[in-house]
Structure 1
Amino acid sequence: MIFNPKIYSLHLNDPCGRMSCGPGWGRERNASLRLPDLELWFVWKGHGWMKTQNREFTLLPGFCALMRPGGIYDAGHDESHPLGITYIHFDVHSCRTGKKITPTLSRQWPEFFEISDPDYFDTVTRRIVELFPIHPRLGEDILRGLLQDLLQRPVLGQHAAPAPAYGIAALTARIRSSSERLPTVAALATEMHMSAGHFSRLFKKTTGQSPLDFLVETRLARARHLLRETPLSIGEIAERLDYADVYFFSRQFKQKTGVSPLAYRRNG
């Protein structure tokens, strides 16, 4: 479904915010019963659950809900992996009449989405929250574009992957876009609340490659970037990418790319 900005306008409402949920946090039934408008609700970290009138979801980074009046959205989280959420309240108005049409229009929209690029979504929603108190009209313009994007994304429970699979998609997108130290397979399995064996099987089913192959591929992609774009020595690159020594780095690089790091730099 497409959001047509020529027909509909958006109005941001209080509250709009971003929070890391603390001990004892939960979204209780009254929060749903009192919801007067639309709430864009996005998970950017942690692990939790949500129960609606007839469905239950695992909450992982990349989960997004477009909550509407009349819906039920009970939620809680694992306090050892607390949720980080962004919430944006807004109404929809008719450009022709100026009247609020949130209840009528929202029933036509999906409620739950798979966000495979959570870093992008987190950045945009964070900016909307920052703009709300000082430049709300600009925040509404950005929300309008984000909503157009959101309504064309896979819907959870229909054509989207099940919760663990969208969690893995979010995981790989985050790792590819991050410059932080690469995690181990065991650390990734722990983050997904799975055994290493189950995580590896699901990862391969979802992505077509093992988690170890994915991490090697990502590490070598970073190596290629550093070889092309920086004056770092081969040894410094190996150290930065946590290789045991420069010889293993050179061996693996040549095995996967067909050329040595030095030859790649010369020909790159």
Structure 2
Amino acid sequence: MEQLHAEDRRQLAYAHFREWSPSIHYAKYQSLPPGKLPRRRLYDYEILYVSQGEAATTIGETRYEWKAGQLIYLPAGLFHQNEVVSQPNAQFLGIHFDYFDELEVGSDEDMVVNEAHPLAEKFCREATNETFPPLSEQIIYTPSLLCVQLMEQLVEEFTTRPPGYELACKALMLNILSQLQRSRSTLHQRAADTVHGQRLVSLMKQMESSLAEAWSNKRLADLLLMNEDHAAKLFKQVAGQPPGEFLRSIRHREARRLLRETDLSVEEVGERTGCPDIHYFSRQFRKQEGLSPSMYRKLSRVL
């Protein structure tokens, strides 16, 4: 990790969980074309999740590559340069935050260091605890489906700003941080500990790329060459969810993305995510979100 100037060095703040009080400075979806972004460093912390495509980040002499389903954790004061490497673009979910509600942000410029006039007192501190080491010890994370859903909820709260959104964002961010700590044992690391782990990971990727197909427990068991009960048990060990719950989660996540980022009809979104009956799709979506697909799309495009 690249060394910082002494006066700008990031400080670790040892604090009990009850003292953590994160504030959100930015939470949005972005679509960026291929190419390198300017080299920079931040006063606050950033989580940048790739929902579609591939990206890379150069820190010092090291180039980190990350793809859809992964995120990069960028601490305050760290020189870095992000790059979109996929064609025709990449889709991101970005969150800027601090741990102790210590940075006043009026515009995006307040988060980025002006290298001609860096302000040492503005660099935010990173929380650590006797239970959790600092997240900055790791650069690339593979968040759980729950963590991704929490990040999506945070973006919605921050962009639509209903009454009490600041409190909701704070609570969501605390949950996201705890989920990232747990994800240090990633899906692939857990899979490596099981005999059929790699086959299960491959199967889950196949499910994500073919959401419209029928994925019954029997089909999964047949593909894994084992009985249904044993297949379901191993699946849950690796994915952290039973097969049916995992499938519902990734279908719903994709439905949300398609409603936000495309002009496909609600019926087409349902078909692409394994639910061609528009009425059933709408009922299930409303059950998860509390509003119809059409209203979700409308609200997601308010800002």
TM-score, normalised via structure 2 length: 0.47
Distance 1:81 1:53, change over 3 A: same
Match of 1:63 in 2: 70
Q: 2:148 aligns with which of 118, 122, 132?
A: 122
Q: Is the 8 A contact 1:39 1:68 kept in 2?
A: yes
Q: Could you say what the CA RMSD is over the residues aligned between the two structures, in angstroms?
A: 4.4
Counterpart amino acid of 2:124?
T
1:190-238 deviation per Cα after TM superposition (whole angstroms, max 9, x unaligned) = xxxxxxxxxxxxxxxxxxxxxxx999349x989x97xxxxxxxxxxxxx
Q: Is the 8 A contact 1:48 1:78 kept in 2?
A: yes
Distance 1:116 1:136, change over 3 A: closer
Following TM superposition, by how much is the alpha carbon of 1:94 offset from its aligned partner in structure 2, in angstroms? 7.9
Alignment of 1:219-238 (within 5 A): none
**Cα distance in 2 between the residues matched to 1:215 and 1:25:** 43
Distance 1:20 1:169, change over 3 A: farther
Following TM superposition, by how much is the alpha carbon of 1:179 offset from its aligned partner in structure 2, in angstroms? 6.6
Following TM superposition, by how much is the alpha carbon of 1:16 offset from its aligned partner in structure 2, in angstroms? 1.5
Counterpart amino acid of 2:48?
W
Distance 1:71 1:217, change over 3 A: same
Verify: 1:9 aligned to 2:21, yes or no: yes
Q: 2:30 aligns with which of 2, 19, 33?
A: 19
Distance 1:132 1:115, change over 3 A: same
Identical aligned pairs, as a percentage?
14
**Cα distance in 1 between the residues matched to 2:66 and 2:18:** 34
Secondary structure, counterpart of 2:174 in structure 1: helix
Q: Is the 8 A contact 1:27 1:75 kept in 2?
A: yes
Match of 2:82 in 1: 75
Secondary structure, counterpart of 2:150 in structure 1: helix
Following TM superposition, by how much is the alpha carbon of 1:114 offset from its aligned partner in structure 2, in angstroms? 2.9
**Cα distance in 2 between the residues matched to 1:67 and 1:101:** 13
Following TM superposition, by how much is the alpha carbon of 1:48 offset from its aligned partner in structure 2, in angstroms? 2.5
For structure 1, the 5+ residue unaligned runs are 162-167, 183-212, 226-239, 241-268
Q: Is the 8 A contact 2:20 2:127 kept in 1?
A: no
Counterpart amino acid of 1:114?
Y
Q: 2:135 aligns with which of 90, 96, 109?
A: 109
**Cα distance in 2 between the residues matched to 1:58 and 1:214:** 33
Alignment of 1:92-103 (within 5 A): 92-93=99-100, 102-103=124-125
Following TM superposition, by how much is the alpha carbon of 1:80 offset from its aligned partner in structure 2, in angstroms? 1.8
Match of 1:143 in 2: 173
Match of 1:180 in 2: 211
Secondary structure, counterpart of 1:93 in structure 2: coil
Secondary structure, counterpart of 1:88 in structure 2: strand
Q: Is the 8 A contact 2:27 2:155 kept in 1?
A: yes
Secondary structure, counterpart of 1:149 in structure 2: helix
**Cα distance in 2 between the residues matched to 1:122 and 1:52:** 25
Larger radius of gyration: 1
TM-score, normalised via structure 1 length: 0.52
Secondary structure, counterpart of 2:149 in structure 1: helix
Following TM superposition, by how much is the alpha carbon of 1:108 offset from its aligned partner in structure 2, in angstroms? 3.7
Q: Is the 8 A contact 2:50 2:67 kept in 1?
A: yes
**Greater Cα offset, 72-81 or 136-145:** 72-81
Q: 1:39 aligns with which of 46, 49, 73?
A: 46
Distance 1:53 1:131, change over 3 A: same
